[in-house]
Amino acid sequence: MSRAQKTTLVLVPLALVAAVVVWTFLYLIRYPPTVSAATTSPGEVNVVMQTVGAMGTGSHPPWVSYLIQRSDGTWVHSTVLQVPAHSTVHVTIYQYDSGSDLRNPTMNQVLGVPDATLDGKQYSVWTDSIGHTFTVPELGISVPLPGIADDAANPCSVAPCDTTFDHHTITFSFKTGAAATYTWQCFVPCAVGYLAGFGGPMSTVGYMNGVLKVVA
């Protein structure tokens, strides 16, 4: 084997390793930040989120998205949520997006939470158009988030949105068990322009796909 061939055999694997390291580094620095729930009392935390029809900024301005509010009131473009183990999590979601039809009618039902409310009134199913869902399959939790009217007079177009814009307010609570990590996401096919409506933001952490970290 010539010296050139030996050099090639050494350099090519090194280049591949370097490429993987660079890709991993770039991926990690772009990964959405983790937002911790706000503790209200021992064993109870509050989570506040919003869903928007389009971020309006960033690398994908047209994409639908969730945002999470920090305890100081600032909104973070992230879907990585951290909550304590063996606690009650009280969730409030401000839903600013319009609705669309579901491909799976089961997703119009409130599952796994006992106290879901829509604009202050308890509900267990929604048969009209739905904007998004908050669904944690491994925990059996799914909450449909009704869409605002298509002809809403004051829709929000650039996130984060405030409550002066047309929206619905959804609340519910659930209990966590031992420390674990779960995937949560929206199951409404709302990714316009992608195959079956489930690509793009629907499969991207930070938009309609999220991580629930339950920590001890």
Rounded Cα distance, 201 and 84, in Å: 27
Per-residue pLDDT band for 167 (boundaries 50, 70, 90) equals very high
pLDDT at 3: 54
- Mean pLDDT on 63-89: 97
Lowest mean pLDDT among 25-34, 51-60, 124-133, 203-212: 25-34
Residues 6+ positions from 54 with CB-CB distance below 8 Å: 61, 62, 63, 64, 65, 157, 158, 159
In terms of pLDDT, which residue wins out, 75 or 105? 75
Tokens of 145: 């988030």
Average pLDDT score over residue span 33-38:
97
Give the three-state DSSP class for 103.
coil
Which residue bears the tokens 């619905």? 168
Q: How many angstroms separate the CA atoms of 85 and 101, rounded?
A: 35
Question: Kind and range of the H or E element at 182?
Answer: strand 180-185
Q: How far apart are CA 84 and CA 202, in angstroms?
A: 26
The 3-state DSSP class for residue 35 equals: strand
- Convert 183-202 to b/e letters by CB count within 10 Å (16 or more is b): ebbbbbbbbeeeeeebebbb
Q: What single-letter DSSP state applies at residue 32?
A: P
Total Cβ atoms within 10 A of residue 209: 16
Count CB neighbours of 157 within 10 A.
13
Question: How would residue 21 be classed by pLDDT, with cut points 50, 70 and 90?
Answer: very low
Q: Which residues pair with 215 in a beta bridge?
A: 84
Task: Count the Cβ atoms, other than its own, within 10 Å of residue 108.
Answer: 20
| CB contact at 8 A, 132 and 184 | no
Whether the pLDDT of residue 67 is over 90: the answer is yes
Q: How confident is the model at residue 22 (pLDDT cuts 50, 70, 90)?
A: very low
The answer to whether 199 and 168 are in contact (CB under 8 A) is no
Please say if the pLDDT value at position 35 is more than 60.
yes
Say what the pTM is: 0.86
